[in-house]
Structure 1
Amino acid sequence: MRSPLTVTRIGHACQLIEIGGLRVLTDPWFTQTATYYPGEPVASTAGSLGPVDAVVVSHEHYDHCDLAALVTAGFDLDTPLIGPGTVANIARDKGFRDIRVIESWAATSVGDLTVTATPGRHGVHEVTFVIQAFGRTVFFGGDSLRVPELDTVPARFGPVDLAILPTNGLCVRTMNLRQVVMDAEEAAGLTAVLNPTLAVPHHYAFHSGRLGDRMITRSDRDPRRYQDAVARLAPDIDVRLVLTGTPVTVP
């Protein structure tokens, strides 16, 4: 019998991944500011998460690295926090005591859980992750662009059970509309290569407020474009558009 694998999207790229009793929190974001709006209900407060075995953080942007909210909520600062060196610096300042620095293709273990950093590219330094335990494999794409090295994930790690990918193609207006996140078509192409049992899009509801959307960012907030692109490129892959707070079990 396969170990159970469940994912609950808390909001944006913040996911609670549960593999055979192990609980992994990704890219925490629980609050908002004048130019960072989740754009959807956040399904949990930082204080109501319950025990977590590890936190993985792809990069230091506030909407993926809201460590202050965890600290304020009384989160256990002995929980292993895994991410690149840029995230580690913030985690140390916040008082986290078990910080695991991993860069591309390096790995760390927490009991039966193995987390490997895989390449990423964004407006700042970013890694993506392969999360494995009890024969299950999850790919977590943070809010990276599609980079060619990610096409090697299945050959390196074997079959992927769950792929979680950003889809909004975020562009920064103040940088001549520089794209910093993969769009729906690019995410669908990577999904076809990863060939997961289940794919879940995220990082699409976020917005910068009425003024910010006109002056700072531009993005595609409709995940159905990703679902349609996957249906065209890899029709056998199951794509779920998941409301926040809804647990999804991966076969």
Structure 2
Amino acid sequence: MSTPLRVTRIGHACQLIELGGLRVLTDPWFTQTATYYPGEPLASAVGALGRVDAVVVSHEHYDHCDLDALVTGGFDLATPLIGPGTVAAIARDKGFRDVRVVEAWEATTIGDLTVTAAPGKHGVHEVTFVLQAGERTVFFGGDSLRVPELDTIPDRFGPVDLAILPTNGLCVRPMNDRQVVMDAEEAAGLTAALRPAVAVPHHYAFHSGRLGDRMITRGDRDPRHYADAVARLAPGVDVRLVLPGTPVVVP
């Protein structure tokens, strides 16, 4: 019998992934500022998450590493927190007591869960993650660009059950419109390489506010563009477009 696998998007790239009895929180973001808007209602407050066995954080940007919200929300700071060295320094400063540093292709274990960092590329140093428990494999793409090494994941880890990918192609206007996140077409191309049973897009509702959207960032906020691209490039992959709080069960 397959290990139960489901994911519930809290908002943005913050996901609660459940592999059997193990619960993993990704890239926490529970607050907002004048230029960081989730663009969708959060599915849960920190205090309502319940038990969390591990936190994985892809990079230090506020909308993926909102550790202050975890601290003020009463989160258990003994929970293992896993991320690159840039994240680890912040986590230790916030009082997290079990901080695991992983860089590309390095791994750590929490009980039956293995967390392996995979390469990523963004405006700052970033890793992505492969989560494995039982016979299940999940790829979590943070808000990375597509990099060629990610195409090798099925060869390295076997079949992928669930892929969670950013899709908004975020560009930073003051940096000559530099793209820092994969767009729908690039995410669909990676989906074709990973061939997951189920794919869930995220990191598309975010915006920078009325002024910030004109002066700071621009991005594609419609996940249907990703679903359409997957239908062309990876037919047969089950794409789920869900509101925060709606669990996706992977067969």
Question: Normalising to structure 1: TM-score of the pair?
Answer: 1.00
Partner of 1:243: 243
Aligned residue runs from structure 1 range 222-233, under 5 A:
222-233=222-233
Partner of 1:51: 51
Cα deviation 1:4-61 (Å, max 9, x = unaligned): 0010000000000001010000000000000000000100001111110000000000
Partner of 2:122: 122
Q: Which amino acid aligns with 1:37?
A: Y
Q: Which amino acid aligns with 2:211?
A: L
Aligned residue runs from structure 1 range 32-111, under 5 A:
32-111=32-111
The root-mean-square deviation of aligned C-alpha atoms, in Å, is 0.3
Structure 2 segments unaligned to the other structure (5+ residues): none
Q: Alignment length, in residue pairs?
A: 251
Partner of 1:179: 179
Cα deviation 1:155-183 (Å, max 9, x = unaligned): 00000000000000000000000000000
Distance 1:126 1:145 in 2: 10
Cα deviation 1:196-216 (Å, max 9, x = unaligned): 000000000000000000000
Q: Which amino acid aligns with 1:146?
A: R
Q: Which amino acid aligns with 2:111?
A: G
Partner of 1:190: 190
Aligned residue runs from structure 1 range 11-50, under 5 A:
11-50=11-50
Distance 1:48 1:72 in 2: 13
Structure 1 segments unaligned to the other structure (5+ residues): none
Identity, in percent, stands at 84
Partner of 2:209: 209
Distance 1:93 1:247 in 2: 33
Q: Which amino acid aligns with 1:169?
A: G
1:147 equivalenced with 2:147 (yes/no) = yes
Distance 1:5 1:158 in 2: 16
Q: Which amino acid aligns with 2:56?
A: V
Distance 1:242 1:138 in 2: 18
SS at the partner of 1:185?
helix
Distance 1:139 1:248 in 2: 15
Deviation (angstroms), 1:234: 1.1
Distance 1:130 1:31 in 2: 26
Moved over 3 A (4+): none
Distance 2:125 2:220 in 1: 23
SS at the partner of 1:201?
strand
Q: Which amino acid aligns with 1:179?
A: Q
